Structure 1
Amino acid sequence: MTFAKIYRPAKTAMQSGRAKSNVWMLEFESNAVRSSDPLMGWTSSSDTQGQVRLTFDTRDEAIAYAQKYNLAFQVIDRQEPKRIPRAYSDNFTFYRREPWSH
């Protein structure tokens, strides 16, 4: 039986916003063992489902797809980072805890 995981990907280190991080992905787990090519050093596998990544707009769509095709799946919820709102002027306040200098 094929196993899949459903998750929302984290934002990449190269982006400051949250674009393309609200989609849900269904990714298949690879069952085959990876082998190394002796000449080039590349790794390969006979399992092509390990390359498949499906995107969905909502979590429920991804779950419905997995149930429709009788896939065993696991939903992984990511934890949202705690945002602390700060003002730019807090950098120059007299009551700053850490010393500030150039």
Structure 2
Amino acid sequence: MSARIYQMPKNALQSGKARTSTWMLEFAPAEAKKPDPMTGWAGSGDTQEQVKLTFDSADAASAYCERNGIAYNIIKTPPKTLKIQAYADNFR
């Protein structure tokens, strides 16, 4: 069983930055999803895929994994870059 730890991204539909400081721990899927013959929905018997844990920091998430013997991979957040433009740049 392995897990990935990443920081929550900013919601693209909102201008606020709420809940972007939390870190998520998600387990990797143990088996592939298969379509149900009756409904056509995709599913699997893996219940760990539904578990998502939140932590205040990456260190807390990694400490949780080490305490419980879970292999983990921390995905670093890419640096934010701003493209500064002025309204006058439209007329150059």
Aligned CA RMSD, in angstroms, stands at 1.7
Which residue matches 2:56? 57
- In structure 1, the residue matched to 2:87 is 91
Taking the aligned partners of 1:22 and 1:56, their CA distance within structure 2 comes to: 9
Q: Distance in 1 between matches of 2:40 and 2:91?
A: 51
C-alpha distance in 2, partners of 1:23/1:83? 22
Matched, 1:10 2:9: yes
What amino acid is aligned across from residue 75 of structure 1 in structure 2?
I
Offset of residue 39 of structure 1? 2.5
Pairwise CA distance, 1:17 = 1.5
1:40 positional shift: 1.7
TM-score by length of 2: 0.88
Percent identity, aligned pairs only?
A: 37
**Looking at CA atoms only, which structure, 1 or 2, has the larger radius of gyration?**
1
The within-5 A match list for 1:1-102 is 2-85=1-84, 90-92=86-88, 96=89, 98-99=90-91
Secondary structure of the corresponding residue to residue 91 of structure 2: coil
The alignment of Structure 1 onto Structure 2 pairs a total of residues equal to: 92
Secondary structure in 2 aligned to 1:10?
Answer: coil
TM-score with structure 1 setting the length: 0.81
Regions of 4+ moved over 2 Å = 83-86
> Any unmatched runs of 5+ in structure 2?
none
CA distance in 1, matches of 2:13, 2:79: 18
